[in-house]
């Protein structure tokens, strides 16, 4: 786990304890995006073609999946993408007159700016 990822997890715990719903939601979704980036595709060789369930994993440890180790730069890139996604959505919402939700998304993007 990168230092930045550890900081995000610690800040999530702090936000949860403070009952800060906005920060909690933003940090959870960002950590989920990071977890998705860590995932590796399942190897085809690990899948069974015989047995009661076709395509099921078999053997000891078959359900354990390897994870990609991300650097702080990788995590920063993901955070930047999450931030840009929120800013883009806010712009679209403003164009359609939903200024309240747009301002919430901009606040979320601002919160993520502290990690970039």
User: Residue 65: which region, alpha, beta or left (left: phi > 0; alpha: psi -120 to 50)?
Assistant: beta
Three-state DSSP state, 55:
coil
What value does the mean pLDDT take over residues 12-24? 97
Domains of the chain with CATH codes: 3-113 (1.10.1510)
Q: Give the CA-trace dihedral at 57, 62, 67, 68, to 10 degrees.
A: -70
**Cβ atoms 108, 22 nearer than 8 A:** yes
Confidence of residue 97 (pLDDT cuts 50, 70, 90): very high
Confidence of residue 67 (pLDDT cuts 50, 70, 90): confident
What value does the mean pLDDT take over residues 38-60? 63
Confidence of residue 112 (pLDDT cuts 50, 70, 90): very high
Confidence of residue 41 (pLDDT cuts 50, 70, 90): confident
In the chain, the N- to C-terminal Cα span, in Å, equals: 17
């Amino acid at each position: 786990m990168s230092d930045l990822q550890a900081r995000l997890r610690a800040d999530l715990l702090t936000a949860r304890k403070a009952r800060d719903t906005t920060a909690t939601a933003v940090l959870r979704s960002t950590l989920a995006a990071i977890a998705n980036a860590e995932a590796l595709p399942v190897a085809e060789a690990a899948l069974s073609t015989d047995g009661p369930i076709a395509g099921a994993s078999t053997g000891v440890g078959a359900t354990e999946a390897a994870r990609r180790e991300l650097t702080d730069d990788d995590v920063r890139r993901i955070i930047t993408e999450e931030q840009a996604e929120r800013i883009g959505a806010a712009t679209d919402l403003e164009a359609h007159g939903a200024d309240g939700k747009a301002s919430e998304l901009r606040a979320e993007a601002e919160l993520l700016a502290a990690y970039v």
